[in-house]
Structure 1
Amino acid sequence: MVRRVEDRLFDTVNYMLLGIVLVAVLYPLIYVLSASISDPAAILRGDVWLWPKGATLKAYKTVLQNAAILHGYWNTIVYTVVGTAINLIMTIMAAYPLSRKDFYGRHAITAFVVFTMFFSGGLIPMYLLVRDLGMLNSIWALVIPGAVSVWNLVIMRTFFQVSIPYEIQESAAIDGCSNLKILLRIVLPLSTPILAVMTLFYAVGHWNAFFNALIYLNDRSKFPMQIILREILIQNDVGDMASLADDSRIEYALQVEALKYAVVIVANLPVLILYPFLQKYFIKGIMIGAIKG
């Protein structure tokens, strides 16, 4: 095909814009990685822009030797695994019935569920509810209130409706399968893309969550990694160092500066490792219903 000048110009502009977006997204990650292995004094002087200066792994050694960071890391793993499992089970249990044509009242139930996306009781009523249910200062305060995301529920319901022919479910029912067997033996094996997408969405949400832990947890031994990271970041405030002598204040600032970048990398490493393996399912899941009526 002979490409017109307008087409080549359009492609050139697109490549330029995408290149700018790539740099804007990739540079902060490269900077944090470089700063995590750089000399803290070089970071404070502003010498680190792209490549590390005075490369050292001292910050990572400090992270691996810090009991509070390791314990928070373990807590985050537990909250993410348990929370994602609950999210998937609850979302599947809600999405499958709402996708069935023979489920009476599914449109009304869907409308009530979607209503909660736009209106909620707010933070104080939610806190009172969690307190009255006896879930304060426990893992359940972090994983039960958000057990189902309405948006993810709608996406999964749409996948079941669009990508899995209803005739297959009818044939299985004629052969004697119950609704539960149809879900476990037919629907879920054909739903790998959407399950991978939901796993990624829910897991990243739990991994990065800190606000609920900040509100519902008061036992430091139960703090997730993000709360520990928050504490490290706010320790840079002058008020925390006001009582220190000048030399001690400088040394303290250097230690915190070296530590915070290393903790950011360590905290985000599992998500960065997980995403490439789920990318193909992620893209396929996002395109659900894009070319179907």
Structure 2
Amino acid sequence: METSAIRKSRGEQIFQVILVLFMLFMILITLYPFVYVLLSSISDSRKLISHSGLLLTSQGLTFDAYTKVFQNPNILGGYLNTILIVFGGTLLNLFMTSLGAYVLSRKGVPWARIVMLMIVFTMFFSGGLIPIYLLVNNWLHLGNSLLALIIPGMISTWNLIILRTSFESIPDSLIESARIDGAQDFTILFRIVIPLSLPVMAVMILFYGVNHWNSWFNAMLYLRDRELFPLQLILREILIQNSTAYMSGDASASDVEAVGESIKYATIIVATLPILAVYPFLQKYFVKGVMIGSIKG
């Protein structure tokens, strides 16, 4: 049976037009900084530094800045360290968070409520920077090691709560049926619970992965050898400490500053593009996963 379209009032039509224009404006002001950095990174450094106003096209197309960036061994080493941290850290995060969420989501676990209250307590109160540094560096002896960037943050309280809520939505009858068939807790977790929670697990991968990729403070705190620096710490040095002169190659003294600006923009793109490329693959799970993990069915 065909239903006639509901005619919108003039006020609703005006509101919809205003809403669309507002959203387009928000997209523009959000996207333009990234476009500006991208265009600046592929522009001739001399033309770029003399350009004023909005940058809508590249000023003399060139990829020299990217060539200089990828010739820098610190950046290539930082990439490798960051990839190790992201993959190793995210896998450990998922494993430990899944174990904690599964235990706390099962009924009849002794002291589960008290343990959960203690975990939530850590969201609002912490020991402070100095005790954490002493714990990691002096007691765990993880100083100047990539493990110092992974082990202390194995479990995020917020992610644990989301995952626990998702696991609680799985019917108890399904778990009991698996137990009747002789399945143990690890089998139930990895062959039943996690496969039924893939949207939430995708969100966990996104949250943990982006956090590891963007992290630089802990690396600055615990690492001393430059060979261990992650990409974001190298990027911080380039942007804040202005350490681009040695990457400018054979540029004249008058052009070093201009070339340095192009190198900064290219480094930002190199450090940002990989993590942006992950979003399209996980975006379809994002809203669904967060909703499943935040509202108990």
CA-to-aligned-CA distance 1:26-57 (integer Å, 9 cap, x gap): 11111111011011123322346121111101
Q: Whole-Å Cα distance in 2 between the matches of residues 221 and 40 of structure 1?
A: 30
Residue 270 of structure 2: which of 260, 266, 270 is its match? 266
Contact 1:204 1:271 in 2 (8 A): yes
Aligned length: 285
Tell me the equivalent position of 1:257: 261
Distance 1:233 1:102, change over 3 A: same
- 2:142 aligns with one of 124, 135, 139: 135
**Residue 23 (structure 2) aligned to one of 18, 27, 33:** 18
Q: Which residue of 2 aligns with 1:35?
A: 40
Alignment partner for residue 287 of structure 1, among 276, 287, 291? 291
User: Considering only aligned residues, what root-mean-square deviation do their CA atoms show, in Å?
Assistant: 1.9
Q: How does 1:32-181 map to 2 (within 5 A)?
A: 32-47=37-52, 49-132=55-138, 133-162=140-169, 164-181=170-187
2:214 touches 2:232 (CA, 8 Å); kept in 1? yes
Between the aligned partners of 1:260 and 1:166, the Cα distance in structure 2 is: 54
TM-score under structure 1 normalisation?
0.92
Unaligned runs of 5+ in 1: 242-246
- Runs of 4 or more consecutive aligned structure 1 residues displaced over 4 Å after TM superposition: 289-293
- Structure 2: gaps spanning 5 or more residues: 1-5, 246-250
Deviation per CA, 1:155-180, whole angstroms, max 9, x where unpaired?
11111112x22221111112221111
Is this contact kept in 1: 2:164–2:293, CA < 8 A? no
- 1:5 aligns to what? 10
Deviations 1:106-137 (A, max 9, x none): 11111100000000011111111111211000
Q: State the alpha-carbon separation in 2 of the partners of residues 124 and 165 from structure 1.
A: 44
* Change beyond 3 A, Cα 1:211–1:292: closer
1:211 partnered with 2:221: no
Q: Deviations over 1:183-242 (max 9, x none)?
A: 1111011111011110011011100110000110010110111111111113439xx98x
Query: Does the residue aligned with 2:152 lie in a helix, a strand or coil?
Result: coil
| Equivalent pair of 2:46/2:258 in contact (CA under 8 Å) | yes
* Larger deviation, residues 8-17 vs 166-175: 8-17
Letter in 1 for 2:167: F
Distance in 2 (alpha carbons) for counterparts of 1:282 and 1:109: 28
Question: What does the per-residue CA deviation read over 1:241-275, in whole Å, with 9 as the maximum and x for residues that have no partner?
Answer: 8xxxxx95432212211111111111112111111
**TM-score when scaled to structure 2?**
0.90
Q: Secondary structure at the match of 2:183?
A: coil
